[in-house]
Amino acid sequence: ITAPAGEHHALVDNVRGQTNGVESAPLAESASHANVDPSERAALLMLDRACGRDRETWTKACSGRNCRFLRSEQEPMLGMEALRSKTAEEPGSVRSTPDAAFVSGDLGYAYGTYERAQPVQEKGAYLRIWRMQAERWTVVLEMLCPYPA
């Protein structure tokens, strides 16, 4: 999943609530998020932050058999075993810092920046989509989009 430099920056700007330099309403203030308990967003943000710092927390959150991983120049992978067998990536080796998290019902998402030292040094943007299952948040999709070199 790669994009030319201009397209990548437009995507990042759009995710942050800006389009062509014109401010738009932040997603957190839109009508569809008006009834969401702020503590739910705070809890998901805290969990996403913990996943970015702690390998065990990330592994547990992504351990569902329906977790999809999208990596640059790789086919989509379903499940932790696919991630381990099809890439040289050591599960949990990506360190991420969330910018924001949002919740709507049993779905949530968080986005921010990441760094990886192996198999190659890389920095970029990430998106995690979360789902509440059996009273706990689990990752259903993790996408890494490296910055252009």
Instruction: Tell me the two tokens of residue 110.
Output: 């968080």
| Residue range 123-145: mean pLDDT, rounded | 94
d(CA 49, CA 38): 16
Share of the chain above pLDDT 90, in %: 44
Q: Hey, what are 129's tokens?
A: 């989509």
pLDDT for res 29: 42
**Ranges of H-type helices in 1-148:** 5-15, 38-53, 55-61, 80-86
Instruction: Give the percent of the chain with pLDDT over 70.
Output: 71
In tens, the pLDDT along 44-94 reads: 999 999 999 988 898 889 888 889 999 888 889 998 888 878 766 665 678
List the one residue out of 92, 86, 88, 43 whose CA is nearest residue 63.
Answer: 92
Element (H, E) at 137: strand 136-146
Q: What is the mean pLDDT of the chain?
A: 77
